[in-house]
């Protein structure tokens, strides 16, 4: 199976796609180092974008309109008129301070409505990042665990009882049991070989199988959510594949983000663009942030 180009605007580091709105057709993603949040409608082709003042790790639509965005020193609320509202930060959560400069990376809203957001350093310092949880009211941020290097893909099972999580350099997907707003009993579902590339963002489909994007792997691969066995592969037209989300009325189209940084554009002219594929299964809706 092969992916094709959905949006030709090249991203330096495209990440974090979401699919919301009427028929799950409003596709949104970030260009982290391009300091932009971009969107395109799956049905009409209409597109838009806005700039951010800092590198932006994620942008997730809110129930009341606008986005919660992961600016490097945020997160912040951005309303539809462009006004910003400051939210609790990493320092507010636990007083944790590092001599290394951190930024937010991947984030997603849980079935309970809380935002899970992970950090990393710009120089990839080992175990300097962490995973945090911001309550749906936007007033309470807490650090769930540290010793993270590149906090990346995360998602939940259909019934919300299991959370899947990737710390990229570990080259594996870990799973947690969900107990109300806590996650417990961490263990490994699947470990990836070096030749597959590095696991990045991911989405869980309606069968509880995992669709994982692979940085320097040219692909999104699907793994059985119980056994970890690979069951499908989508080949992409560039090496640095970063994340994916299910979209469309039936949630049966997969939107895939990529990066162009450090890529030979003569060899990979579609690098950094956003792709689309039909995986043959349906996925889950993007959860909106409650504030």
The model's pLDDT over 240-271, given as tens digits with 9 standing for 90+, comes to 999 999 999 999 999 999 999 999 999 999 99
**Active-site residue among 114, 200, 205, 270?**
200
Q: Which domain holds residue 121?
A: 4-277
Are 111 and 117 in contact by the 8 Å Cβ rule? The answer is no
Q: 3-state DSSP helix/strand/coil percent for the chain, to nearest 5?
A: 5, 55, 40
Identify whether 190 is part of a domain. yes
- Counted residue by residue, the chain has a size of 291
* Global confidence as pTM: 0.97
Share of the chain above pLDDT 70, in %: 98
As a whole number of angstroms, the distance between CA 215 and CA 275 comes to 15
CATH number for the domain spanning 188: value is 2.120.10.30
Q: Residue 86: its pLDDT value, please?
A: 92
pLDDT band at 42 (very low <50, low <70, confident <90, very high): very high
Residue 289 falls inside a structural domain: no
Number of domains in the chain: 1
Q: Would residue 200 show up in a list of annotated catalytic residues for this protein? A: yes
In a domain, 287, yes or no: no
């Amino acid at each position: 199976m092969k992916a094709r180009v959905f949006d030709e605007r090249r991203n330096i580091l495209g990440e974090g796609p979401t699919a919301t709105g009427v028929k799950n057709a409003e596709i949104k993603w970030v260009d982290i180092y391009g300091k932009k949040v971009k969107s395109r409608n799956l049905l009409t082709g209409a597109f838009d974008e806005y700039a951010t003042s800092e590198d932006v790790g994620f942008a997730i639509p809110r129930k009341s309109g606008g986005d919660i965005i992961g600016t490097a020193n945020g997160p912040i609320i951005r309303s539809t008129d462009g006004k910003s509202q400051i939210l609790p930060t990493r320092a507010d959560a636990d007083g944790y301070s590092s001599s290394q400069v951190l930024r937010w990376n991947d984030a997603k809203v849980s079935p309970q409505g809380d935002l899970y957001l992970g950090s990393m350093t710009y120089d990839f310092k080992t175990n300097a990042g962490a995973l945090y949880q911001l309550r749906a009211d936007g007033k309470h941020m807490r650090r769930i665990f540290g010793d993270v290097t590149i906090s990346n893909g995360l998602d939940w099972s259909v019934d919300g009882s299991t959370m899947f999580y990737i710390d990229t350099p570990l080259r594996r997907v870990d799973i947690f049991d969900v107990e109300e707003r806590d996650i417990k009993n961490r263990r490994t579902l699947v470990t990836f070989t070096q030749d597959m590339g590095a696991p990045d963002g991911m989405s869980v489909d309606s069968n509880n199988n995992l669709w994982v994007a692979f940085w320097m792997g040219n692909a999104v691969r699907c793994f059985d959510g119980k056994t970890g066995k690979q069951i499908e592969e989508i080949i992409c037209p560039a090496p640095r594949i970063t994340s994916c989300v299910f979209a469309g009325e039936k949630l049966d189209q997969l939107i895939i983000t990529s990066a162009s940084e450090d890529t030979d554009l003569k060899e990979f002219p579609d690098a950094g663009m956003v792709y689309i594929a039909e995986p043959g299964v349906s996925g889950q809706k993007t959860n909106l942030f409650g504030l």
